[in-house]
Amino acid sequence: DQQVKQNSPSLSVQEGRISILNCDYTNSMFDYFLWYKKYPAEGPTFLISISSIKDKNEDGRFTVFLNKSAKHLSLHIVPSQPGDSAVYFCAAFSGNDMRFGAGTRLTVKP
Amino acid sequence: DAGVTQSPTHLIKTRGQQVTLRCSPKSGHDTVSWYQQALGQGPQFIFQYYEEEERQRGNFPDRFSGHQFPNYSSELNVNALLLGDSALYLCASSLVGTDHFSGANVLTFGAGSRLTVL
């Protein structure tokens, strides 16, 4: 069952512009949501998280927004840089259960 | 400070064979989780080990088994391999009892072991 969905397999943006990556979930019991970034031949690395009791968390160029009523979260990267090009996974956590989306490949063009 | 290390990085097996994958957690971590990432999909939780015992298990058959050693390292074993077992197997470590969502204490992943079953 796909409890976490990333419906866009890829996204291409120009350097300096905003990148918006989206994620939908179905289980209202999730406590935390996380974004991981993955470069080729490396494991996913933690990027940013948000608790289900918040609607926004910001860390430098990265901001995650959570809309619980819509069961939707998004990751905003501003400004986008070529080094941000990677696969981004949305993940949701409840108890000891972590579920991942299928990922979105972001390409930032110089 | 070494992160999570996994071996081997790549391996090829044939249907029906058995495979063992190994993982050394990040220094200071005591919990190891294993994930399977099939092509075009996100990581799927297989199981988690803490204090040498399986704490939680995802929706995977008994052909998938594991072990954790006193030094916290772990093995993933898959018996009677199927073509559908071809995937990237990721190991992730963490420290039990800590806030898993505050930067350094989240899951730390290794680069994975890519298994191809022919």
What is the Cβ-side half-sphere exposure of residue B55, based on CA atoms within 13 angstroms?
A: 16
Note the pLDDT of residue B106.
73
Per-residue pLDDT reduced to its tens digit, B40-72:
889 999 999 999 999 888 889 999 999 999 999
- CB within 8 Å: B107 and A46: yes
Fill in the amino acid letter for B57. R
Q: How far apart are CA B30 and CA A98, in angstroms?
A: 18
Q: For an interface test with A, give the residue of B50, B89, B94, B100 to mutate (most A CBs within 10 A).
A: B100
Asked whether the CA dihedral A27, B48, B84, A102 is positive or negative, the reply is positive
Cis ω on the peptide bond leading into residue A82 (within 30° of 0)?
A: no
Q: Which amino acid is at B10?
A: H
Q: What is the pLDDT along chain A (110 residues), one digit of tens a residue?
A: 679 999 999 999 999 999 999 999 998 889 889 999 999 889 999 999 999 999 999 999 999 999 999 999 999 999 999 999 999 999 998 776 788 999 999 999 99
Distances in whole angstroms, Cα of residue A38 to Cα of each of A69, A84, B60: 29, 10, 24
